[in-house]
Amino acid sequence: MTNDAYILPPPPQPAIAVTGTEKNFRCAGYGASAAKPADALVADGGTVPYPPLTKDMHHEVELVVALKSGGRNIKPAEAPDCIFGYAVGIDLTRRDLQIASRDMKRPWEIGKAFDASAPCGPLQPAARIGHPGKGRIMLKVNGKVRQDGDLAQMIWKVPGGDRQAQ
């Protein structure tokens, strides 16, 4: 179907670059502590404006896992076969709005799912780097270290971490 078939044209498909190629990875969704829409994605080098409606924006560095397939009830040992690659991302949160929603026992989307709330670096294909289970992950803001840790410290581990590239 062409864009002429729509009253309002559909938004562009969010995508991030794949390191070492001229290809991009099309994004269908983004999962974090609360779901973000795919159009929240900001590709490497993009501009992230300060979000409206908040006076308390928080940021957390994240390991991004890009899937090439999916399913349900996948055994942990088979999960790495569903992974295309990895990137470093930042999960932005309008914390004041998130807490207000939580206190009213409402969904957190207003605090988590807003425009440009998911900056993401280029993808590193698992076929090239394997499946990292350890390694430094750090976030600096204006040159000041805000987070500094290791993937081995993650609460929610990616099954198959440290499985080497084939």
Domain containing residue 44: CATH number? 3.90.850.10
pLDDT confidence bin for 163, thresholds 50/70/90? confident
Domain membership of residue 94 (yes or no) is: yes
Residue 29 is predicted with a pLDDT of 63
Statement: residue 27 has pLDDT above 90: no
User: Domain span at residue 112?
Assistant: 13-28+36-153
Please tell me the distance from the alpha carbon of residue 42 to that of residue 120, in angstroms, as a whole number: 6
Judged against a pLDDT cut of 90, whether residue 86 lies above it is answered with yes
Overall number of domains in the chain: 1
Q: What is the mean pLDDT of residues 139-153?
A: 95
Q: Is residue 164 part of a domain?
A: no
Beta bridge partners of 16: 25
User: Taking Cα atoms as reference points, which of 124, 126, 40 lies closest to residue 90?
Assistant: 40
Tell me: pLDDT of 85 over 80.
Answer: yes
> What integer is the mean pLDDT of 124-139?
95
Q: What is the model's pTM?
A: 0.85
Residue 44 within any structural domain of the chain:
yes
Alpha-carbon gap, residue 22 to 93, rounded angstroms: 31
Provide the pLDDT for residue 1: 58
Q: How does the average pLDDT of the chain come out, rounded?
A: 89
